Amino acid sequence: MKITETAIPEVLLFEPTVHGDARGYFMETFRAAFFSERGLDLEFLQDNQSRSAQGTLRGLHFQREFPQGKLVRVIAGEVFDVAVDLRESSATFGQWIGEVLSAENHRQLWVPPGFAHGFYVLSDSADLCYKCTDYHHPEDDHSLLWNDPDIGIEWPLLFSEPLLSAKDAQARRLAEIPLYP
């Protein structure tokens, strides 16, 4: 598996080796040793999957008291996946990373604890799966505003406005959310 650091070194891009032939393909999507070799000794506790229609933007979500690391991949369709650094003490605080993840490119994005995460659906629909290092805690669920001008994410919008949940439509700006140390 090829593992590449992004402009925010803690956010990693995983590109598995795909073994294909006329029958289809096989790939390894997770190996704990890839993380421990980088000093990331963590345990995944929960797997999630979502299906979203084209033009849907989910996020930018995070948990402050129960931070989750997420290993994100797309099993059908294509998304623009984003991580925003919410760690006040970080040299990359308030910066974002965006990567296209698809069923065809097989890429995965490691979003460490201390980051907000979201994605925008580019294909007709997309099925996204992600492993989490902590459980979902509804009482600690927060949303960072997807179009906060202080962050300036360059979303590749297909329409003038994305499809948002009521929660995400009422998300708060960076200056208004609880941050990580």
Domains of the chain: 42-176 (2.60.120.10)
**Residue from 19, 61, 106, 137 carrying the catalytic annotation:** 61
Token pair of 143 as six digits: 């949303």
- Catalytic annotation present for 25: no
Residues shown for the chain = 181
Which three-class secondary structure state does DSSP give residue 174?
A: helix
Say if strands 2-5 and 12-15 run parallel, antiparallel, or are unpaired: antiparallel
Banded pLDDT at 29 (limits 50, 70, 90): confident
The predicted-structure confidence for 85-141, as pLDDT tens digits, reads as follows: 999 999 999 999 999 999 999 999 999 999 999 999 999 999 999 999 999 999 999
**Residue from 106, 117, 120, 130 carrying the catalytic annotation:** 130
> C-alpha distances in angstroms, 41 versus 3, 31, 71, 117, 133?
16, 12, 14, 21, 11
